[in-house]
Amino acid sequence: MSYIIMEIKKISSVETYPVRHEVLRKGKPIETCQFKGDDDENTAHFGLFLEDKLVGIISIFKENNNLFSESNQFQIRGMAVLEEAQGKGFGTELVKETENHCINLKADLIWFNAREKAVPFYEKLNYKIIGDSFLIPDVGIHFVMYKKPSKK
Ligand SMILES: CC(C)(COP(=O)(O)OP(=O)(O)OC[C@H]1O[C@@H](n2cnc3c(N)ncnc32)[C@H](O)[C@@H]1OP(=O)(O)O)[C@@H](O)C(=O)NCCC(=O)NCCS
């Protein structure tokens, strides 16, 4: 029997670009893969590797949203798993790694703008929708989702 080695580790913002481009910005200029705040000291990026191939990414920014009153809020951005690796639990592993990172930083709240198609994925991880849907031009309909991180 053979095993595939899966590893999640911190990566740089630039290392996220190939997966951001393929999954989230397909056909768009590579510059669109750069997010404001990517290299801030409170921003972190995690990559999920199968053997040595990067197949999934997630980024976490220290960013408050006025919809919430909590003081230490973090925003998930750039969550993506390559199509051929989707549906195997890797996205879930990346969110859990990020939640642990936020717990270590004593986050009161995690929030993000979820693509409509990804809402059921986040609901399985106990994130809730707040408010109405809204349109992000060139990307599509989104919902704000949130959760208070807590140790199991
Ligand atoms: C959304 C995404 C990150 C999920 O990653 P993933 O590795 O495929 O997700 P997982 O395999 O961990 O899925 C966990 C559960 O959510 C479900 N799920 C995942 N994506 C789903 C979707 N789009 N619709 C419905 N259910 C979904 C899975 O079936 C699984 O359910 P199960 O536990 O009952 O088997 C990934 O599919 C992706 O990159 N999609 C395209 C980009 C995108 O939409 N990113 C999010 C931007 S907000």
Contact (Cβ atoms closer than 8 angstroms) between residue 59 and residue 77: yes
- Strand ranges (E), 18-150: 44-50, 53-62, 73-81, 109-115, 128-136, 140-147
Superfamily of domain 6-107: Gcn5-related N-acetyltransferase (GNAT) (3.40.630.30)
Q: What is the pLDDT of residue 2?
A: 83
Q: What is the pLDDT of residue 151?
A: 64
Break the chain into its structural domains and give their ranges: 6-107
Regarding the beta carbon of 22 and ligand 1, being less than 6 Å apart is answered: no
- Output the residue whose Cα is nearest ligand 1's atom 16: 121
Cα of 117 vs centre of ligand 1, distance in Å, is: 9
Tens of pLDDT, residues 93-151: 999 999 999 999 999 999 999 999 999 999 999 999 999 999 999 889 999 999 999 86
How many whole angstroms separate alpha carbon 114 and alpha carbon 142? 5
Q: What's the residue count for the chain?
A: 152
How many whole angstroms separate alpha carbon 5 and alpha carbon 1? 13
